[in-house]
Structure 1
Amino acid sequence: MQLIFTKGSGKYDQMEVVRDGVSVESIACPKQGIIPHDMVHYGVESTLHKRGFVNRILHGEAASFQMEADAESDGVERLVEVFQADGWSGWTSASTDMLDLYQVTCDARQCAPLALDEEDIEAVRNKLLELSAQWQAVSVGGSLVLAFV
């Protein structure tokens, strides 16, 4: 599967889901000042090999904001939120602080956290920094193609 992120000129970017060379879905991604939310999902899920939004799409679910609850996916979503907050803060939060925030976020949402350590946080952050650099180099109307297997 490929995810094709296209940088928009207005309030939205686009994510196109391509399976076997055929576009099957397109999703409007509200701009948030960092990489798109679903690109953060890609970075988290491709690094940690966890079942979240992108992995569920890979396995045939429709890309929807109303997917059924799933313990691992819920844990991934909370982690994506923590990484977004880190991105909005300049990608500089201490790994231990991020793990603490992740625990608080999971507790607040009554969600079981994924088993993570500081090395996991740093691995995901490095992937997100790489994606951020690639996304910044894309001009309006241009695209970044990411493979997800």
Structure 2
Amino acid sequence: MLLTFTRRDGKFDDLRVDRDGLPSETVQCPKQGILPHDMIHYAVESTVPHKGFLSLLREGRPVAFTTSGGEMEAAVERLVEAFQAEMWGGQVPATDLIAVYEHACGTDLPLVAPIAPADVEAIRKKINELSHAWSSLRIGQSLSVTF
């Protein structure tokens, strides 16, 4: 599956999803001052084996699906949100990020997708690489990744 993120004017960027045997789909990504949320999904889901939003897309769900996945997908969403919060607020020790993530899962989920400090560092490395590439793009330029 090819994911193409395009920097746009205004309040939204775009994500185009190309999958074998399915028509291309595009969704708007609200700008948030950091990477697009779905690009953080890519950093997480391409690093750890847990299934989240992008895994559901790869399985054929439409880009604009409104129903949630299962408990694992919800746990991965909390993990993505933990990295997103870190991007806004500053890096913390890996064990602290894991504790925040586990606490977030514990508030409304019975399941926590296991993650180790080494996973946190690998995801951070990918986020840093993506951030560098994304920040160098001008309006109308794109960054593509394969998932």
TM bin, normalised by shorter chain, reads: over 0.9
1:34 aligned residue: 34
- 1:2-29 CA-partner distances (Å, limit 9, x unpaired): 0000001110000000123975211100
Structure 2 residue 30 is matched with structure 1 residue 16: no
Q: After the TM superposition, which residues 110-129 of structure 1 pair with which residues of structure 2 at under 5 Å, given as runs?
A: 110-129=109-128
After TM superposition, the score normalised by the length of structure 2 is 0.94
Q: Percent identity?
A: 41
Structure 2 residue 140 is matched with structure 1 residue 144: no
The question of whether the paired residues in 1 share the 8 Å contact of 2:71 and 2:109 is answered with: no
Tell me the CA shift for residue 54 of structure 1.
0.6
The question of whether the paired residues in 1 share the 8 Å contact of 2:7 and 2:139 is answered with: yes
1:49 aligned residue: 49
- 1:29-74 CA-partner distances (Å, limit 9, x unpaired): 0001110000000110001132110111011011235233312111
**CA distance 1:50–1:117, shift in 2 (3 Å):** same
**What is the identity, as a one-letter code, of the residue corresponding to 1:106?**
C
CA RMSD, Structure 1 to Structure 2 (Å): 1.5
Structure 2 residue 103 is matched with structure 1 residue 104: yes
The question of whether the paired residues in 2 share the 8 Å contact of 1:78 and 1:102 is answered with: yes
**What is the identity, as a one-letter code, of the residue corresponding to 1:84?**
Q
The question of whether the paired residues in 2 share the 8 Å contact of 1:74 and 1:111 is answered with: no
The question of whether the paired residues in 1 share the 8 Å contact of 2:3 and 2:18 is answered with: yes
After TM superposition, the score normalised by the length of structure 1 is 0.92
Distance 1:39 1:46 in 2: 10
